[in-house]
Amino acid sequence: MTRPTQAKINLANLRHNYQFAKQTTGVACLAVVKADAYGHGAAAIGRALEQEVDGFAVGMLSEALELRQNGINKPVLLLQGAHERGEIGDIVANQLTMLIASDYQLAWALEAKIPEPIDVWIKYDTGMHRLGLSHSEVVRAINSLNNLPWVRSLTLMTHMACADEFNHPHTQGQLVLFQQLAQQFRLPVSIANSASLLSLPQTHGHIARPGLMLYGTSPLAYEHALASQLKAVMTLEASVIALHQVQSGESVGYGATWTAQRPSVIATLSVGYGDGYPRVTTCDSFVVIRGQRAPVAGRVSMDMMCVDVTDIKGVICGDVAECWGSQVPVAHVAQQAGTLAYETLAAMPARVPRVYTE
């Protein structure tokens, strides 16, 4: 008998979100599936999207090879490029899109005997100072690569540091720098991640890179009309595995941090922080059982958590609890834990089965 905890992945909602990104931008979109597709399962997500996507983006070579090994043949961009010289051969052999984001990556590419054409992206650091070339280094890279026989295409990209915040002055500064250089060379450009895609039409360029929004969550730090059209892809479900009558003054869980203020019914759920649910919660943390909110009661354990179902009639063992999904936004769960949906989704462990539905 299997443990009644699972992450249901709605592939129809995934496709809806991708098509929404396409319709919003009107340009090519690379589906970002790094970190195991933000915890959703990269191979399954890649197969589900392959027929309609323009391509994929991943963080590193191993993630790209996983897609190729699962029969996914669409273009795949390495968002960090090669980590060592020896990876250049694998990039070429698997027809991956090479990223040049450092002077040593440029040197490796120029020194390699690349036998067949591949696509190359150049990353311009416009102010995030995490990865990318300076203005002069970009100019040198473009001039070095532009006419080489193995360079099938060149694309210029950057990444926005503050696009999730409304009207942040740093965003405009980055855009000005990028546009000045882009106008000089007139290459295809890629700026927009999910936040830029939703809130900054001027960043749509030629190729967008939707990531978090594909999975139904807005990256924006404020409400936005477009973000409301996204559909949740993952639903984390658990079951009620025990019910306890708790008297007023009695406590629940490790540390006895929750004390009943009245005679209460406490349901134990088959999910804990070992399943990706945050250990840190607040008085606003809840799950949904039988269509009603059940507040979290006490500390979340590794394999279990308790919720207060006193006001929900008829709860029995075996009832399903939605820990996050369409009724409990994962962004809300993450916020109560003092983090972001990115981290909460990406931290989903392998022991939670992914169940894919249409």
DSSP labels for 25-93? H-SEEEEE-HHHHHHT-HHHHHHHHTTT-SEEEESSHHHHHHHHHTT--S-EEETT--SSTTHHHHHHH
Q: Among 120, 11, 29, which residue's Cα sits nearest to residue 74?
A: 29
Q: What angle do CA 276, 279, 284 make, to 5 degrees?
A: 105
Task: Note whether 203 and 196 are within 8 A (CB).
Answer: yes
Annotated binding site for substrate: 130, 302
- Strands of 98-100's sheet in order across: 98-100, 118-123, 151-157, 189-190
CB 179 within 8 A of CB 145: no
Q: Quote the tokens at residue 320.
A: 């399903």
Tokens of 69: 């090994």
Token pair belonging to 131: 């990865």
List the one residue out of 200, 238, 232 whose CA is nearest residue 214.
Answer: 232
Q: Which of 18, 34, 273, 342 is catalytic?
A: 34
254 is catalytic: yes
Tell me the residue type at 249. Answer: G
pLDDT at 270: 98
**Could you give phi then psi for residue 59, rounded to 5 degrees?**
-85, -35
For 2-18, b/e burial (b = at least 16 CB within 10 A) is eebbbbbbbbebbbbbb
Contact criterion met (CB below 8 Å) for 234 and 355: no
The residue to which tokens 């909110």 are assigned: 293
Is 277 catalytic? The answer is no
Domains in the chain, CATH or no CATH each:
11-217 (3.20.20.10), 234-357 (2.40.37.10)
Q: How far is 280 from 269, CA to CA, in rounded Å?
A: 16
Q: How far apart are CA 32 and CA 98, in angstroms?
A: 15
Q: What is the dihedral of CA 272, 324, 257, 252, to 10 degrees?
A: -70
Which tokens go with 179?
């546009």
Which pLDDT does position 3 carry in this prediction? 85
Query: What does the DSSP 8-state code read for residue 96?
Result: P
Closest C-alpha among 20, 19, 119, 42 to residue 75: 119
Q: Name the pTM for this structure.
A: 0.96
Mean pLDDT by 10 residues, the chain (358 residues): 90 99 98 99 99 98 99 98 97 98 98 96 98 98 96 98 95 97 96 97 98 97 92 99 98 97 99 98 97 98 98 98 98 97 97 97
**Given this model, what pLDDT does residue 1 score?**
52
Number of Cβ within 10 Å of residue 335's Cβ equals: 17
Residue from 222, 231, 254, 342 carrying the catalytic annotation: 254
